[in-house]
Amino acid sequence: MRAAVMYGAGDVRVENRPDPRIVRPTDAVVRTLAACVCGSDLWPYRSMPATGTGRPMGHEFLGVIEETGADVTALKTGDLVVAPFTYSDNTCDYCAKGLHISCRDGGRYGVDGGQGEAVRVPYADGTLVKVPAAADPVLVPSLLALSDVMTTGHHGAVTARVGRGDTVLVVGDGAVGLCAVIAARRLGAERIVLAGRHQARTGLGREFGATEVVAERGEEGIARIRELTGGVDKAIEAVGTRQALGTALGAVLDGGIVSRLGVPQYVEGAIGPAEFMRNITLTGGAGPARAYIEQLLPDVLDGTIAPGRVFDETFPLDRAPDAYRAMADRRVLKALLRP
């Protein structure tokens, strides 16, 4: 099969790799219909040391079951499925709490990455979510978004305890931030301030439900947000930098909640005595996508939400290196890959 492999910073290649096969009776092989490049893929794309073996890439994909192991009972060949960005057994104590990201038997896709023609999925019954609909081309991007960006954005809104009437700040106009806008609106937020400076993205954010956009950064951005709102009840940080976290902490009211979604690119955060005295709750983290897909799926199928609009360009799989470059250069918000 053909698959994208990263060999170092800026070095993504599409090459022939062995076809996935059933290794354990709980496995399934999924033939990929659509995959994508994640913002988190760009961190190694910018900094990964060169290697001679390469690293199969991708963890977000939508596909059709091609083969199942003997112990797979909930799925069958031909089923259309959404794959969360990590696999899980959906039976352990963490999964029972809705924390599938911490599943005791779970992990990340390895030998077969999602950016390929097929993937072996461990614990298929626990991991994959069957879509009760045909593969309508119009729905494919939004179904794919459930594998990561939409469920991650939703995780930010849920952990921030966004509710009816809230004023919410979303820091970051990337795909996750835009999906957090969708999620905050879906949960009843009255005002949503989107902090971002890319007009095409913030324009989409307004269509998703953002009521105000703030382009300023740092202290200037905090002052502008507070001028507009007097301070926000909840903040969702969807970038992963210290500056973004500082904006969220600076804009939220005392007693408010800040949820972190961006993978931190720092070791020490700005959380000291001042924040302690303000009784700010800091929450968030890696989203348990599997816990949310079935909640959000009906809204995708009936068109209530359309997170697939974050995919603004489609590339054939053989052009995966171009997709990475386009995203790294900020010419594309989120690239969809078609095997």
Q: What is the pTM of this model?
A: 0.95
Tens of pLDDT, residues 237-290 = 999 999 999 999 999 999 999 999 998 888 877 778 888 899 999 999 999 999
Structure tokens at 49: 């040391």
Taking residue 322's Cβ as centre, other Cβ atoms within 10 Å add up to 15
pLDDT above 70 as % of the chain: 100
In contact, 263 and 240? CB cutoff 8 Å = yes
pLDDT score, position 272: 82
Angle between helix 218-229 and helix 242-251 axes, rounded to 10 deg = 30
Q: What are phi and psi of 105, to 5 degrees?
A: -110, 5
In contact, 12 and 48? CB cutoff 8 Å = no
Tell which residue, 186, 174, 131, 128, has the closest CA to residue 149.
Answer: 174
d(CA 234, CA 142): 26
Tens of pLDDT, residues 177-209 = 999 999 999 999 999 999 999 999 999 999 999
Mean pLDDT score of the chain? 96
pLDDT above 70 for 46: yes
pLDDT above 80 for 135: no
| Mean pLDDT on 145-165 | 98
